Structure 1
């Protein structure tokens, strides 16, 4: 059993990877909901479901946008947590 503790940079990178995966799925869901909205706004308009699907599509899109913002913030934080490059020693 490993008792290794992750560095703050490793923790941020783990979170970034999870958020990027969520962003990928959120984008796919927005595309799927858009297809459903087009179907209900077109051929199935008589069922009155276009507004409900549009509301879901809007919320899913807002989630996608929020994920983008958080990913950007964590990428900036990860950059700040990067260790400073070691200077090469001359004559060594």
Structure 2
């Protein structure tokens, strides 16, 4: 189906899938950043640059929480948009 012919449910499901993919890559990236930060925290502190990484990690955490909330919200919308079994059989 093209974007013009997709149902609202299909659009919601596509968006949820995209958000879940973003969450996956975001989590992996933050884990790698955390590993690097922990390995070099002492050196970054000496250079007075650890606050830059700490700020990014805080923002990443906020982003991750927002993505989780959006996924939950859109999954609830998808449930509301899903036709009842008798509606599906009658179509």
Q: Which residue of 2 aligns with 1:14?
A: 14
**Gaps (5+ residues) in structure 2?**
none
Taking structure 2 as the reference length, the TM-score comes to: 0.83
CA RMSD of aligned residues (A): 2.0
- TM-score of the pair, normalised by structure 1: 0.82
- 1:77 is displaced (CA, Å) by 0.3
**Larger relative contact order (Cα-Cα within 8 Å, sequence gap ≥ 6):** 2
* Structure (1 or 2) with the larger CA radius of gyration: 1
Superposed structure 1 runs of 4+ greater than 6 Å apart:
none
Q: How many residues align?
A: 86
Unaligned 5+ runs, structure 1: 88-92
Q: Secondary structure in 1 aligned to 2:86?
A: coil
